Chain A
Amino acid sequence: DGGITQSPKYLFRKEGQNVTLSCEQNLNHDAMYWYRQDPGQGLRLIYYSQIVNDFQKGDIAEGYSVSREKKESFPLTVTSAQKNPTAFYLCASSPFGTGSEQYFGPGTRLTVT
């Protein structure tokens, strides 16, 4: 059963704590992405990775970090430096990298209080 999984679905954290969101895919895709979605808004790109051991900042990378040690996994850490971390986080992958269609996970809703 191929696809992208994100865990957990809901995550609650206290302000000042770092938190890591999981994203795993078994689609054998090279490229992976992290987006943030705020209520009533479109998606904004946080980080993306075209290949293992390489990743690039997107439009809103400040306060976030990523790693890409395995093709299947692209975890996102929301650090305490992120000023407004409460949001819906979406992970995606694509088979052909730049500009091709993307396949999305179900998302993680992070609430920081």
Chain B
Amino acid sequence: SQQGEEDPQALSIQEGENATMNCSYKTSINNLQWYRQNSGRGLVHLILIRSNEREKHSGRLRVTLDTSKKSSSLLITASRAADTASYFCATVLDTYSGAGSYQLTFGKGTKLSVIP
């Protein structure tokens, strides 16, 4: 099944800097979602962006989607130590290709460390 791939695998920045993570995918999607996971915990939904949207904002988060390049980016502005976590993109296909097609498929994540 299709899978998003996040880049970079790990990112270390100073508090106050911006963090940018990218996600690439292979086939047409219905929507793309970003989640955060603190170490050893469950995931928390951040933003959902649909295939007909190009940009969405939520607080310090900005997500863009370029369907022509099959890629998305997550920008966290003015990062804080509490933003330290792994960030995952997850895609939902827009066409049926077997059981589970319309379910979320997760990438391996970007591990963000924000140094105080």
| Pairwise interchain contact A90-B43, C-beta atoms closer than 8 A | yes
In Å, the complex CA distance between A41 and B104 comes to 15
Query: How many residues on B have C-beta within 8 angstroms of the other chain's C-beta atoms?
Result: 26
CB neighbours of A92 from chain B (8 A): 42-43
Quick one: which of A4, A42, A56, A103 contacts B109, CB cutoff 8 A? A42
| A33-B103, A106-B42 known; A59-B1 Cβ under 8 A | yes
Instruction: Say whether, besides A40-B108, A42-B3, A45-B104, A104 and B30 are in contact (CB < 8 Å).
Output: no
Given contacts A101-B48, A104-B43, A106-B41, contact A48 B103 (CB under 8 A): yes
Q: Which residues of B contact A90 (CB under 8 A)?
A: 42-43
Q: Does A8 contact B (CB under 8 A)?
A: no
Contact with B along A95-106 (1 / 0, CB 8 A): 000111111111
A103 touches B3 (CB 8 A): no
In-complex Cβ contact of A56 among B31, B33, B99, B108 (8 A): B99
- What class of interface size applies to chain A in its complex with B? 20 to 34
Contact yes or no, B44 A59, CB < 8 A: no
The reply to whether B42 and A107 contact each other, CB–CB distance below 8 Å, is: yes
Interface contact A48-B100, CB-CB below 8 Å: yes
* A58 at the binding interface (Cβ < 8 Å): yes
Whether A42 and B102, one on each chain, are in contact in the complex, defined by CB atoms closer than 8 angstroms, is: no
Contact B99 A102, beta carbon cutoff 8 Å: no
Looking across the interface, which residue of chain B has its beta carbon closest to that of A106? B42
Q: Is the CB of A107 within 8 A of B107?
A: no
Q: Which 3 A-B pairs have the closest CB atoms?
A: A104-B42, A42-B106, A99-B92
B interface, CB within 8 angstroms of A: 1, 3, 30-31, 33, 35, 40-45, 48, 88, 90, 92, 99-100, 102-109
A-B contact pairs, 12 of them (CB 8 A): A4-B42, A33-B103, A43-B43, A44-B106, A45-B100, A56-B100, A58-B99, A58-B100, A58-B103, A101-B33, A104-B44, A106-B42
